[in-house]
Amino acid sequence: MTTEHDTAAPPVKGGAAPGRPPAGASAEAAKKRARLSRRWQRDMRWSPYAFVSPFFLLFMAFGLFPLIYTGWASLHQVELTAPTDMTWVGMKNYTRIFDDDFFWNAAKNTLTIGIISTVPQLLMAMGLAHILNYKLRASTFYRVVMLAPYATSIAAASLVFVLLFGRDYGMINWVLGLVGIDNIDWQNDHWASQLAVSSIVIWRWTGYNALIYLAAMQAIPQDLYESAALDGASRWRQFLHVTLPSLRPTILFTVIVSTIGASQLFGEPLLFDANKGASGGSQHQFQTLGLYLYEQGWVNQHLGRASAIAWTMFLILIVIGVINSVISRRLRASS
Amino acid sequence: MTTTLTKPPADPAPPPPPKRGRRSKAARAGGQMHAGPLAYVILALFTFGSLAPLVWTAIAASRDNQRLAQTPPPLWFGANLFDKLEMAWTDANLGEAFLNTTIVAGVSAVTIVFLSTIAGFAFAKLRFKGRNALMLIVIGTMMVPPQLSIIPLYMMVAKLDWTDQLQAVILPSLVSAFGVFFMRQYLLQALPDEIIEAARVDGASSWRVVWHVVFPAARPAMAVLGMLMFVQTWNDFLWPFLVLTQNGNPTVQVAVAGLGRGYTPDQSLIMAGALLGTLPLLLVFAIFGKQIVGGIMQGAVKG
């Protein structure tokens, strides 16, 4: 770190190196020390980069490069049958998808499914975390149980939920029937199908988010609660005025992560479709952008157009990111 | 383009500190208060909600199509469970799928843990030019969903003729910004600077420090990260689904999804496949649940 040239032996700096007592004043030993200290400095300067470089190399090869290349591919006609042949078409892929009603439909579905899945999920997670933060018997047991859905894969969970949401013989309609509600067509009804797809997401992620909130709650200093209690605040008011404000950064974070997750939704709507298509139901009623991307790229075999969809989704995420940073700056300014 | 995205996560960073709060149990927020009966009722409901679909998977797997198409749905186990499990095992090529998934998840978990530990150590404890900027980039990459990169990756796989080959799934899965972040957070507080200094004074090179000081100190976090990454890779669906075919060289998820997409669906067979695909992880969670919970709360970031 100290000198620019590794080759120039820094005689005095040697002291920072292996702190052995100088053994004799012979030229040999001095040379050896110089060499050691050169090696030492090289080590100190370059090792950190060596340690972080595998991550960045992998990221560049399998993250950044493909991401940028997606933008490039989106300006070409590329067919699935010959993925390496690219013909320049300019913005044509974009005009095609923006003219496609199914694109806007998918965008709308992604938004509504995103809201239906994220909002109740995070609210329940918050409540659950609050309860888990009490002194409980067998508290570890509950925490592990809440994670069982997280251990279940998207594929398995979606297939099970298809059956649970069966119109004629499904468990859920049967239970609803017990309280006098008629069979709901969870596959074909617009809102019901979106609710069903969302429920898979909610089921898998609520416990996980509860743990994240719980972790943040446990970091809140106890004296905040004590002074609130002295002021005569009820538990509910303590939750509102102590817990929630302290959790603001965590809440914002889970909202962002869930939003990104929701924007990418793919496996759940794909496997929920009883017709085994990629259209997200016969009326595209629960087709998300992720699924639309897959349908364009791998069913209709237009990889170029699929790239345009991916790049559009990426731009949407950037917008979300910017909005987020504005909000968080506001929050910081206000607190 | 990454720069715009590096902004948001800089703020969410606060979640990790929980660790500090956990150290003194007495200082737990609300931990003082005992839960009332209502709390237990709600917990019981959530427990039921979490487990019921899984139990019902096993019930449905133990029946047949005919029984599943009757009106009170089956609420208890039938006689076919083991037959159906066996059928699913052979029909969906699950033996090979399990082997493949174990290889994929094992290799990527071990590699991610190793690479994340050395990178996390560098970010937590070493001083170098551009450290903070690079860390921001790492956090920023967490916000870019890997799904958006699949098309060029697919072209690569096609060009290299890697369809149905496991490395096509393993290599892209090795990028884990979460792992780097997770190990950094852990090492920041778990590895005292004095120990590193002491090793330095003894003339240890950085690599020796990693080997003899960092790895031993990081072992608990490495184990947790390994499990989290194993779970994540085991459950990964979209990318394996695109590059591995059901009849070629599937992972468990591809094979299970394939069962569901057959033309004449045998529902209980599908459920048996879903159950088989889930059981290994449920087992892992049953055994290491406490550690995994601790790890998630410590990382407090979705992987």
Domains and CATH numbers, chain B: 84-299 (1.10.3720.10)
Give A246-265 pLDDT, tens digit per residue. Answer: 898 889 888 888 888 898 89
Burial A98-124 (b: 16+ CB within 10 A, else e): eeeebbebbbebbebbbebbbebbbeb
Strands A76-79 and A82-88: antiparallel
Tell me the backbone φ, ψ of residue A4, rounded to 5 degrees: -80, -35
Tell me the backbone φ, ψ of residue B34, rounded to 5 degrees: -80, 150
Give B6-47 pLDDT, tens digit per residue. Answer: 333 333 344 444 444 444 433 344 445 777 888 899 999 999
Across the interface, of A62, A149, A243, the residue whose CB is closest to B153 is A62
Segment holding A84, helix H or strand E = strand A82-88
Reduced to 3 states, what is the DSSP secondary structure of residue A219? Answer: coil
pLDDT for position B262: 66
Q: What is the spatial distance between Cα B272 and Cα B266, in angstroms, rounded to a whole number?
A: 10
Show residues of chain A in contact with B169, CB under 8 Å.
Answer: none
Select from B53, B49, B84 the least CA-distant residue to B67. Answer: B84
Q: Record the tokens describing residue B238, joined without a space.
A: 């979209």
Select from B110, B130, B121 the least CA-distant residue to B209. Answer: B121
Burial A149-183 (b: 16+ CB within 10 A, else e): bbbbbbbbbbbbbbbbbbbebbbbbbeeeeeeeee
Chain A contact for B248, CB < 8 A? no
Chain A contact for B27, CB < 8 A? yes
**Closest Cα in chain A to B73:** A171
Across the interface, of A67, A220, A249, the residue whose CB is closest to B29 is A220
The strand pairing partners of A77, in sequence order, are A87
Q: Record the tokens describing residue B92, joined without a space.
A: 């969906």
Mutation target for A interface from B3, B23, B43: give the one with most A CBs within 10 A: B43
Cβ atoms A193, A282 nearer than 8 A: no
Residue A18 has pLDDT above 60, yes or no: no
Cβ atoms B170, B109 nearer than 8 A: no
**Closest Cα in chain B to A172:** B73
Residue whose structure tokens are 């060596």: A50
Inter-chain residue contact A253 with B292, CB threshold 8 Å: no
- Count other C-beta atoms under 10 Å from residue B251's C-beta: 32
Chain A contact for B7, CB < 8 A? yes
pLDDT for position B32: 54
Q: What is the spatial distance between Cα B169 and Cα B236, in angstroms, rounded to a whole number?
A: 10
Q: What is the spatial distance between Cα A322 and Cα A39, in angstroms, rounded to a whole number?
A: 45
Chain B contact for A116, CB < 8 A? no
Mutation target for B interface from A4, A36, A121, A159: give the one with most B CBs within 10 A: A159
**Closest Cα in chain A to B271:** A160
Shortest distance between the Cα of B69 and any Cα of chain A, in A, equals: 6
Residue A20 has pLDDT above 60, yes or no: no
Shortest distance between the Cα of A328 and any Cα of chain B, in A, equals: 7
Chain B contact for A335, CB < 8 A? no
Across the interface, of A52, A135, A206, the residue whose CB is closest to B119 is A52
Residue B198 has pLDDT above 60, yes or no: yes
Inter-chain residue contact A256 with B131, CB threshold 8 Å: no
Cβ atoms A1, A45 nearer than 8 A: yes
**pTM higher than 0.95:** no
Show residues of chain A in contact with B156, CB under 8 Å.
Answer: 66
Assign a CATH topology to domain A94-334: MetI-like fold (1.10.3720)
ipTM comes to: 0.83
Select from A80, A216, A264 the least CA-distant residue to B21. Answer: A216
Residue A22 has pLDDT above 80, yes or no: no
Cβ atoms B230, B106 nearer than 8 A: yes
Q: Band the pLDDT of B300: cuts 50, 70, 90.
A: low
Q: Name the residue type at position A237.
A: R
Inter-chain residue contact B119 with A67, CB threshold 8 Å: no
Tell me the backbone φ, ψ of residue A100, rounded to 5 degrees: -90, 120
Segment holding A86, helix H or strand E = strand A82-88
Give B86-95 pLDDT, tens digit per residue. Answer: 888 888 888 8
Residue B192, Cα to own-chain centre: how many angstroms? 29
Show residues of chain B in contact with A69, CB under 8 Å.
Answer: 152
Mean pLDDT for chain B overall: 83
Chain B contact for A222, CB < 8 A? yes
Reduced to 3 states, what is the DSSP secondary structure of residue A88? Answer: strand
Cβ atoms A258, A120 nearer than 8 A: no
The residue extents of the domains of chain A are: 1-53, 94-334
Give A55-67 pLDDT, tens digit per residue. Answer: 999 999 999 999 9
Ranges A18-27, A156-165, A300-309, B176-185: which has the least confidence: A18-27
Shortest distance between the Cα of A146 and any Cα of chain B, in A, equals: 6
The A residues from 276 to 305 touching B (CB cutoff 8 Å) are 276, 290, 294, 297-298, 303
Mean pLDDT for chain A overall: 86
Q: What is the spatial distance between Cα B15 and Cα A245, in angstroms, rounded to a whole number?
A: 13
Rg (CA), chain A: 28
Chain B contact for A149, CB < 8 A? yes
Question: What are the start-end ranges of the E strands in chain B?
Answer: none
Average pLDDT over residues A116-140: 92
Give A95-105 pLDDT, tens digit per residue. Answer: 999 999 999 99
Across the interface, of B69, B152, B270, the residue whose CB is closest to A66 is B152
Q: What is the spatial distance between Cα B244 and Cα B233, in angstroms, rounded to a whole number?
A: 14
Q: What is the spatial distance between Cα A27 and Cα A25, in angstroms, rounded to a whole number?
A: 6
Cβ atoms B225, B96 nearer than 8 A: no
pLDDT for position B72: 81
Chain A contact for B37, CB < 8 A? no
Q: Which residues contact B249 (CB under 8 A, 6 or more apart)?
A: B96, B100, B164, B165, B166
